[in-house]
Structure 1
Amino acid sequence: MLFTPATNSIAPDNALERFFAICVILLAMCVFSSFIGTISATVNSLRNAQGQKLKQEENLLRFFIERNLSLDLYSKVQEVVRRERLTEARLSEEEVELLQRLPQRFKMQMHEEMYLFALLHLGIWPPWSSPDTDPVFNTLCHHAMKDHLAKPGEDVFMPGTACHHVCIIESGHMSYSLAGAPPEEATPGSVVALPCLWAEWSHCGRLMARTGSCYYVTLNGDDFCEVVMRFGGPLLRFLQIMGVLLIGELESAQDQSQLSDLTSLSNIREVSERAQRFTKLIGTTPDKSVHATFSILANKAQGGLFGRLQTRNLSPFG
C-alpha cells in the first residue's frame, strides 16, 4: 500500500493488518471529504454574501439613475452605507431568544440593572425617593424603558416631529442642531426631550449620531405617566409640581426664542429643588392661597399656553 508519494515495500501481511489499513483509508477519506466540504461551504457562503452586497449596491445605483437623482446625494448615501457596514452593534434583548422565556421576576431584575442608572440620571427625583423602597423605579425600568442604537450619520429625530420619549445618551457622540444655530455636542449623560414626560412635545431640532456606535436609552412619556399615577403617593405630587415648574421654565425660554430639546442637568436639578420646597410647603401648610396658586398654574399648563406644548394626563391637582 502507498501512504507516501514514493513507492515502498511496506504492506499489510495478515488479515488484522489489512483490516487496520482499510480503517485508516476510510477514516482518511471521511476526514478529507469533511475538510473539502467545509471549505466549499465557506467559499459558497462568502460568494453569496458578496453577491447580495453587489446586488444591493446595484439596486441602489439603479434607484438613483431611474429617478435622475444627483450624484452628490448618491455619494453621501454611499458613505453612510459604508460606515454602517463598519459598525459593530451589540446584541439587543430581542435577538437573544432564550431571554424571551425568562420568568417575569428575572426580566424585571434584568431591566432594572440595565436601565436604573439612566433613569436616576434624569435628575428629576427627590432625595427621599429610593429605588430600594419605591416600586415606581423598578416598574418604569421594566415597562417604560428601552435601549437603542444609532449608527454614524443616522438621525435619531428631526425638527417638528412628535416626541414620545426622553433620550438618555449612554455612549458615543451625537450632534444636536437647531435652525440658525451652530451644532451642539450631545455627549454621554445628556438628557434630550425631557418635557415630553409632562407635555405633548414636538422636537425643536435634529439629533444625529456623529462617530462610532451611539447607544441611548429611552423612557416613554405615556408609560411614565401611567406608572406614576398608578402608584400615586408623595412622589406623584412632587412630579406634578415638578411638571408645572418645568413648563413655566419652557414658557420663559419660548418667550426668548430659546426652546431646545437639550436640557441642562443643572437646570433640571434647580427645578427639582424648587419642586421639593413647594411640595414641602403644600404638605405642611393649610393655607388655601398656596393651593390656589398652584391650581392656577396647573390650569394654565393644562390650557397649553403656547401652541407646541399641551399637558399630558400627569397634570397637577387633577
Structure 2
Amino acid sequence: VACAWFGVHWLNSSENWVLASGLNDRDAVFQYLSCLLWAFCQLGVGESPLLPTNKTEMVLNSVVGFRSLVTSATLISTMSGLIAGLRKLREDEISEFRLLRRYLQQNSIPHALGQKVTQFLQHQYAARQHERSLHMHVPLLSLLSRPMYQELQFERHRVALSKIGVVRELLEGDGVHCLHTLHQMASESLVPILGAAGDSIFLSGHVAKSSFLMMTGRLCYYRADSSEILDDTRWVAEMCLWAPWVHMGDLEAQDTSELLSLDADGFCATLGHNWETQRAASRYARRFVDAVQKQSFLSDIFVDRNSILDPTPKHEE
C-alpha cells in the first residue's frame, strides 16, 4: 500500500502529493518512511499530513480507506468474539464449580473428601480445556468405517501395546490377518482410565481382570513392607493375560494419573479369533508362566524379557 501511494504520483508529473509535500527533494529512505506512515494512518491510528492533490490520488485514497475500514471491522469483530468466548468459558467454569460446592454442602460431604473431589475436577477441567486428556472426544471420528477406526486406535496405542512381548513379536511379521486382529484388540479391549491422587487401582487378594500401563502421573506399587514407584516401561499385572491371577499387592495413584487398562478376557478372546495370533499367544503364555514360576517371590510387576524371548527362529516355525 505504501509503495502504491508513492507510485501514484508518477501518473501526474505536474500536480501530485509528492510535489505538494516537498518530498521530491528528500532521500529515498525518508520518502519510504513517509509512505509507510501514511499507510498506517489509513488504519485509523492517526492522521497523515500527506493529502491527495488530484482525482487519481483521491480514488486511491478512497479504495485504501474502504479496505482499511473492512479490515478494522473484521479485526474488531474477531477480537470481540475471542474475548466473549474466553469470558463465557470463565463464567461456565465458575457456574459449574458453584454447583459442585452446593452439591457437596447439601449432601453433607466431609470437608476432606470435598476438597479432594474439587481439586481433582479442577485438574480435569483444565486438562479438558487444553485438550490434553486421553478421554478427549472427537465426534467426527464416528464417521470412520469400523476397520479404519480400529486401525486408528491401534496406531494411537502402538507404543504402549508393543511393550507386551507377544504383540511385539506379531508386529515383526507382516501378516495382514495378524494386524487386523491386533487392530480389533486395541479397539475392543483397551480402555483409558483416570485415577485421582490416593485412588486404589487394584488391591491385594482381588482377582486380576485387567493389566494396566501408566501413561501420565505417578503410581506406586505396595507389596508387603516394600513399595516401588512405577514408570511407563512395563504393564502391571500382565500375568492375568496369560493365566488366572490374584493381585499380590496394591497399586495406588499418588497423583492424578492416566492409565491404559487392557481387559484380559477381551484380549484373549480377540487373539483367539485368528490361528496365527492364537498360536503365538499360546507359545508366549507358556514361556511367561514358566518364567514367573522360577521367581523367588510373586509380584504384579514381574517382567523379565530375557527369560520369555521366543527361542524358535522364524524360519523353523
User: CA–CA distance in 2 between the matches of 1:9 and 1:136?
Assistant: 75
SS in 1 for 2:172: coil
User: CA–CA distance in 2 between the matches of 1:85 and 1:126?
Assistant: 36
CA RMSD in angstroms, aligned pairs only: 4.7
What does residue 240 of structure 2 align with?
A: 196
- Greater per-residue strand proportion: 1
Of residues 275, 288, 295, the one that matches 1:232 is 275
User: CA–CA distance in 2 between the matches of 1:228 and 1:7?
Assistant: 76
Q: Deviations over 1:101-129 (max 9, x none)?
A: 47947964x666554554443346898x7
Q: Deviations over 1:189-217 (max 9, x none)?
A: 12212233245666666544445764x44
> What is the letter of the counterpart of residue 138 of structure 1?
L
Structure 2 CA distance for partners of 1:155 and 1:227, relative to 1, 3 Å: same
Of residues 295, 303, 310, the one that matches 1:265 is 303
> What is the letter of the counterpart of residue 37 of structure 1?
S
What does residue 192 of structure 2 align with?
A: 148
Of residues 115, 121, 131, the one that matches 2:172 is 131
Question: TM-score normalized by structure 1?
Answer: 0.60
User: CA–CA distance in 1 between the matches of 2:229 and 2:121?
Assistant: 23
What does residue 262 of structure 2 align with?
A: 219
Within 5 Å, give how 1:289-304 maps onto structure 2.
none
For structure 1, which segment, 89-98 or 18-27, has the greater mean C-alpha deviation from structure 2 after superposition? Answer: 89-98
> What is the letter of the counterpart of residue 100 of structure 2?
L
> What is the letter of the counterpart of residue 141 of structure 1?
L
Of residues 66, 79, 94, the one that matches 2:119 is 79
- Asked whether the equivalents of residues 166 and 281 of structure 2 are also in contact (C-alpha less than 8 Å), the reply is no
What does residue 230 of structure 2 align with?
A: 186
**TM-aligned CA deviation for residue 164 of structure 1:** 4.1
Larger Cα Rg: Structure 1 or Structure 2? 2
**TM-aligned CA deviation for residue 66 of structure 1:** 0.7
> What is the letter of the counterpart of residue 118 of structure 2?
Q
What does residue 122 of structure 1 align with?
A: 164
SS in 1 for 2:283: helix
SS in 1 for 2:272: helix
User: CA–CA distance in 2 between the matches of 1:19 and 1:118?
Assistant: 65
Between the two structures, name the one with larger relative contact order (CA 8 Å, sep ≥ 6).
Answer: 1
User: CA–CA distance in 1 between the matches of 2:48 and 2:172?
Assistant: 80
Contiguous gaps of at least 5 residues in structure 2: 1-40, 313-317
- Asked whether the equivalents of residues 191 and 263 of structure 1 are also in contact (C-alpha less than 8 Å), the reply is yes
What does residue 219 of structure 2 align with?
A: 174
Structure 2 CA distance for partners of 1:174 and 1:225, relative to 1, 3 Å: same
Question: TM-score normalized by structure 2?
Answer: 0.60
What does residue 296 of structure 1 align with?
A: none
Structure 2 CA distance for partners of 1:183 and 1:100, relative to 1, 3 Å: farther
**TM-aligned CA deviation for residue 227 of structure 1:** 3.5
